[in-house]
Amino acid sequence: MKDFDQIIAAINNELVQMRKDFHRFPEIGFKEYRTAEKVAEYMKSFGLEVLTDIGGTGLVGLLRGKDEGPTIGIRACLDALAIERRSSGGIEKTYFLTARQ
């Protein structure tokens, strides 16, 4: 587990910058083109096989071992939520919120 912790520590700053970027440029469901492209490229940089266009903008990263064995799946949502609000003046605004806002 120590090796894994070292790998995560080494890429921590990259991951934080990616998260900040995704929150700066939120995309609503089924329109996460920029986000999916960035995630796919990042997974490819680690040697993962990446399948794209899954249900539209979804993707799958495959890390294949040399032997057959148990499989693990990890799922993450990449979309922002579009929320419409009316002010007391009747003006409509659409806000894009991410899970951490």
pLDDT in tens, 78-97: 898 877 766 666 666 666 76
Strand, helix or coil at 16? helix
CA–CA dist 66, 31 (Å, integer): 35
Taking the model in full, what pTM does it have?
0.79
Instruction: Note the pLDDT tens digit of each residue in 28-83.
Output: 889 999 999 999 999 999 999 999 999 999 999 999 889 999 988 988 988 988 77
